[in-house]
Every structure is written in structure tokens, then in C-alpha cells.
A and B are shown apart, each in its own frame.
Chain A
């Protein structure tokens, strides 16, 4: 075997190893989704979505948990979106290359890797106890906002970085101020990227369980939150609660709830992909 043949052979081996690795992930995901679908799809009907939780598995629904998740999602968006995007703009456009920005940057990257339960503990101490918000939707949303802020900031910065310097130069050269350049050029050009990042971060938030348990979200809530100060439950906690029950009916409920939660995440990711593609086209 000469050198060329050897290289070709290596090439082939690596190709098949790559295919194998990709397939492992896909197969496991398919088995998981298939299993869940078999267990839970029969349980999903309109009543399951609109029923309150109950001691009896067959009467239970996800209504309060679903509404709790929507409340949490909405409030987290309202808090994390403006704060994260503003911080990203500041770091990328204003504070470039000063020492404080360098320090912030390292910290933000590190924060993105902190386990979510730690955020839960932080939320419990700061929001629930010191700020006296109690185990409310607001406290939960603030905690999740902290959790996803690093992701929002980093993806905002990446999106802004992708805007060509030539566009900024052109804007400045026409007499635009920094803010005008950000508002009229940078944000419209990076909007798709920013939105994609925010949606992906939110779809992570909607699946978070640990920090909300620590903050004090309830496993059983017989009512839907009416204000940010009300107690709440969310889908993942409801699922966790059902799975830990011994009765078979609750296992089926959990599977059904997982399907709905997965559906929500897929839809959100789909929207993110849609925005990304739409904005990319605009550039051409």
C-alpha cells in the first residue's frame, strides 16, 4: 500500500467513524421520542391540556403547569431580553478593550457554565428572601433570567460582531452618532442573530427544573397564577412530580406532558431557525 492509498483508507475510516457517531445521537433520540410517544400519545387530548392537577391520574391535566410555564417564559423574556441585549451592545460597541470589559467578559463566559442549581440558590437568597418576593412567578423569572443572561449576552455579541465594519464606517462617515449607528444599522443587521440567541436561551429556560424547585415552585398548584406575585408550577416540575408517583396512570401523564414540553421547545427552535434564515437572505 503506498502513501496515497493509505491516506485514502484513513479518509474512509474517519468518514465512517463520523457517520457512526452522528447516528448514535440520532438513534438514541429516536428511541427516546418513540418510547415517550408510545407511552403518552394516547393520553393527550384537550381535557389533558385544560384540566387542573388532581389526585387521580385520569382526571389530572397540565393546565396550571402549562400556564405557569407561559407566565415564566413571558416574564423571563421581558426581563432577560432588554438587559442581555443592552449588555451585549455595551460590551461589543462601547467598552471594547478596556480592563473592566475584559474582566466582565471572563465572568460572563464562566457564568454560562455555572450549574443551574447554583442560580437557584442565588435566586432563593436574593429574590425570595432578601427582596422578599416569596416563591412567586416573579422570583422564578428573575432567577431564570440570571441563568440565561450569559447566553443572551454572548449571542448578542456574536451577532453584532458579524456586522461588517464597513457598514459602521459608512454610517459614521455620514455624520451618524454612535447610538444612531447602533439603532439604524447594527441592530437591524444583527437582529436575526440576536433573536435566534434569545429564543434558544428561552427554550433552555422553559426546560429548567432545578433552580425553580430551589426557589420554591410548587409541585401541586390548584390554580393558575393571576399576577407575577402568585405561586406557580411549571411543566418540568409537574413531570418530575408525576414520574415520582408509583401509579401507572401518572407515568402515562408524565410521558404526555413530556411530549407537549418537547413540542414547545421544538416550535421555539423552529422559530429561531426561521428568523436566522430570513435574516441571512436579507444580506444577499
Chain B
């Protein structure tokens, strides 16, 4: 096993291709030597990576490896966690998002997030999608209406709910709820969407719908997704990052990670030997 993995020729090809594509497009998200602490616990131990626009990047790794923590850095959702502290730089669209004068609310309009468990507000379907616009102070009813409809259409929910937009978002099925949550995120028009295990609470059919949706959304958005499902990572992502114990073990094109991982740990994990 190890011999085939460390075939120097193949390794060279991999590295070249990374350099090539990264020259073409400036990174959407760039992190430099990121370290995160929760009180004394060192959750992230110095991670640098750059994520290109209009790609799907999957974060994989065993529970507690820091992938969710790392994801939540991009929209500063860790700010509320007690004892959280950060070292290093994260740039989104070239801007350091942890600088003092950064407006966190503005950042979150640019970097949307979908959570593990579908979490619609206890409001109507319409109000769920319109919420992000209303809190921005947008009062133009026509604009809100258009944005709600187009967001629901994008996630393929429009045909299913168009007759009862006044119904509570909580009355939908789990898969529909998750698509509603994605629509709610799209309505704010972010350019990056973070997804924290978005299908782990869903049945296979709903999961397939969400995966298809992610594939379509790639045209307009940069997507970073945390997943525990290896098949899902290999199906939907362009790049895969393998995390282990707060470190980034390997980050490469998904094809390479799954067919020809450079590190033994990566191979053991994706073949199900641990984790």
C-alpha cells in the first residue's frame, strides 16, 4: 500500500496541478497559520489553506478533529463561544475578517451558513426566507417578494410550497426544512455558503436532493461543507481537506484524496480503518 502511495511521479503531477489552478483564480478564502484555543485546549494547531471561488470544498475527519471549528471561523460564529481565542489571519475576498473594525453582521451577509439540524424559525415559510432581508432594513415589498420566490425556486422548494407560504416553516418535512434553510441563506445573496453536516439529519432521498442542489449552487457560490459521509465528499466536492487532531493532514483535489492520498493517515481514514 505504502509503496504505491508514495509513487514520486504521481506526487509531482498532483502538486503541479494545484499550482496551476491556484494561479488562475485568486483565493476566495485564505487562512494563514490559524491556531484556535478554547481556554487551554488547542483546537486548531496552525492551519493554512486557500479555497478557490466557485468550488465545493469538503472538510472531513473524525469527530473532534476541529473541522467544524475551522468552518465556523469563516463567519465568526465561534465569537460567542466562551474562552475562544484565535491566532493567525483569515482573509475572505482579500480582507482580514478578524481585524478590529470588521463589521461581523456584514461579513455574515457575505458568508452564509447552513447548520447540521434544519433550524427554521417558528415563523411562516415566507417570513423565514424574508428574515435576512427584513433585518437589513429592506422595506421594498416587491423586492422581498421577488427574492423569496427566486430563493425558493433555486432550492427547488417553490413548486412544493407556493400555495402555502403562510404555513409555519416547522410544518415542513426535515428535507424540506433544510432546503428552506438554504433558501433563507441564499436570499441574503452571500458569495460563500458554509454547510456544517447539512444532510446528517436527513433521509437518503432528501440528502440526494441537497447534494444535487449543492452541485448547482457551485455555479454562483463558493461552498465549504463539513461532512462525515465519505461518499458524499467524493460525490459533490472538488477539493477535500482531511483534518485530524486540529491539524490539516492533507488538502488536495477530491479525486486525488480518494484515489491516491499522499498520507497514510488520510488513506486509513477514508478506507474506514479508523475514525
Contacts and interface: CB of A to CB of B under 8 A. Distances in A.
A167 B121 contact: yes
Contact of B135 (A164, A180, A282): A180
Given A169-B115, A284-B170, A174 B135 contact: yes
Interface in A246-284: 282-284
Contacts of A283: 122, 170
A220 to B, nearest CB: 52
A169 B120 CA distance: 11
B122 A169 contact: no
Contacts of B108: 172-175
Contacts of A167: 119, 121-122
A166 interface: yes
Contacts, number: 66
Contacts of B14: none
Contacts of A96: 82
A167 B184 CA distance: 13
B122 A175 contact: no
A185 B105 CA distance: 16
B79 to A, nearest CB: 9
Given A170-B119, A185-B121, A282-B122, A175 B106 contact: yes
A139 B115 CA distance: 51
B105 A171 contact: no
Interface in B181-234: 181, 184-185, 188
Nearest to A282: B122
Nearest to A97: B82
A187 to B, nearest CB: 12
B82 A175 contact: no
B186 to A, nearest CB: 11
| List of 5 A-B pairs having minimum Cβ-Cβ separation, nearest first | A166-B119, A173-B113, A174-B132, A175-B109, A175-B108
Given A166-B115, A174-B131, 13 more contacts: A97-B82, A167-B119, A167-B121, A170-B115, A170-B181, A171-B135, A172-B108, A173-B77, A174-B185, A174-B188, A176-B131, A189-B122, A284-B170
Interface of A: 96-97, 164, 166-167, 169-177, 180, 184-185, 188-189, 282-284
Interface of B: 75, 77, 80, 82, 105-106, 108-109, 112-113, 115, 117, 119-122, 131-132, 134-136, 170, 181, 184-185, 188
